[in-house]
Chain A
């Protein structure tokens, strides 16, 4: 197989083939879901029937529309809250890196990534009882917070300290340095963090299933419950629309951030 020229020499066709095959294997379940979205069958069978748009039509019924709108609003609210909390926290770490509190926030953010959501769900149930929306929002914000926080931390690490020092010497307050000097240079990191926070809330199923009352239906809860009860593939249609948007956005922002970090 012909070799392909890359940035740093040539790469054998066999290695490219291996990478492509592995990637296809990893993407296969998602591809199945994609085909199911256009299926005319009620069963998990990608071979039956011609391409059909029935599940896209079903996605406009009130149940699914409400679940989608609830999830979008929840995810937008959670993302905003996570950003609002992560920006000052990341800046605090940048400004006072040696402080014990900085290390404690780092530790807590890492711990949040590692805690099983089901353990958190039991703790929330013990704390808040049968209150539906508050623990759900709080749990989502908590689970989403580490993504913009760590993304901004990586971005801030690539900013030369001279920039903030110069702004400080020119009389800018810490808030001004954060909002008017550093934040505009960290747009791609902020967007990557925001997107990952949005996806965390959008995808979070465990808290939604265990903590919400029947009248509050988020999309993950609707997907999980309908897929267990019946073979309703409506959410596959919703996924077929949003999945490529998410994937392209993540790659674009991730590459930008990685390149900046490399510099």
Chain B
């Protein structure tokens, strides 16, 4: 009997063990059985697109892209002293440190997206997909990687250049590359994308195409001050069927998502499926009742009061500029910061403040019809045709072709209800184009990068600091050390964790 039992043990333990012990997840799939079919690669690509939302739509984007600049500021809320809030303030005041999670958010989310793209780009060449399918997927993935590294290199300088998926600890550590190496990689990716992608078809669906890739490449060349190459790409873009919408304000209307003016935008959709945006709510004042603005019973008790246009910004719009009313809204009311009692929703056109009332300026571009709090339908523009025109005007002017430049510049001005400009002095025209970019692309997270690109950041922002300190003198929250901008602050710090974990070199000044 003993022997029988022992034999029985042995049989049972060996025969069923492998089946018994092999348990794979049932409610999700694993990397082992993914990246096989075309459907898989399409799904992976969708996943990569989805990672653009955190990379471009998170608070770090408007904190670093707009609040850092002279376009917007914030409503200083003494009661909000949590780390997240203080970090945003510090980014605005040029007091930010490497420990900032706000800055880390931009860095990390871009790399999460790059990681997804890298997997696609590595696995697709050896896959069994048809050539057209490969091209379609490879082209878009390359575009996305170029876009993400362009974001990183402008904010952080020469970052670690991961161009293949990380499989384990051994290949996870890369030193920082030089800025030039990163740009070379970006240009390589975008050239591949241009080769693989086809021209836009209208109506667009939100995916990257040849136009998106060329626009991005042109922006890269513009940043590198390679004006002839930028001009060549932009000229291509102007011939692809894009055009300006008739009215500036209709750009942000929901029926014009992915319109003829859109070159590339991050997609959102309101509703129950987790696809919504909520930009508006960060920009509205903190208030237990914002229904006067949203047109339905709603409160904004968390996360509001950020990215507020300055009065100086409001005044930057020329008299009669139709973009002002489309871009900025004003609410008046009472109550302390943190809990505004909103009484009136006003237009900034010919605005004079009502005595005794608190005035709050907010970004109105993201105010569109919706019915649930923190659940809006707005896309986020990355590139639109007006930027292509303004970029073309700039590259032409920089090459001394002022007259030709005016053709493109004035398209944008006229649409905004302004008189065409006739200035052909290169230096003066440069100023006009820069100002035009500021108001045309206001609150689309372009301003800080434009200031850095054009070398104006230090001058403009130190001036802006003086302006703000005077303007808010009575409320005394801006420390003396704020807005002391030096060239070190043109780049953001590499997040402290990456310095410690990855032994990366920090940018100077942090």
A, B in one complex: no
Binding site for A on B (CB under 8 A): none
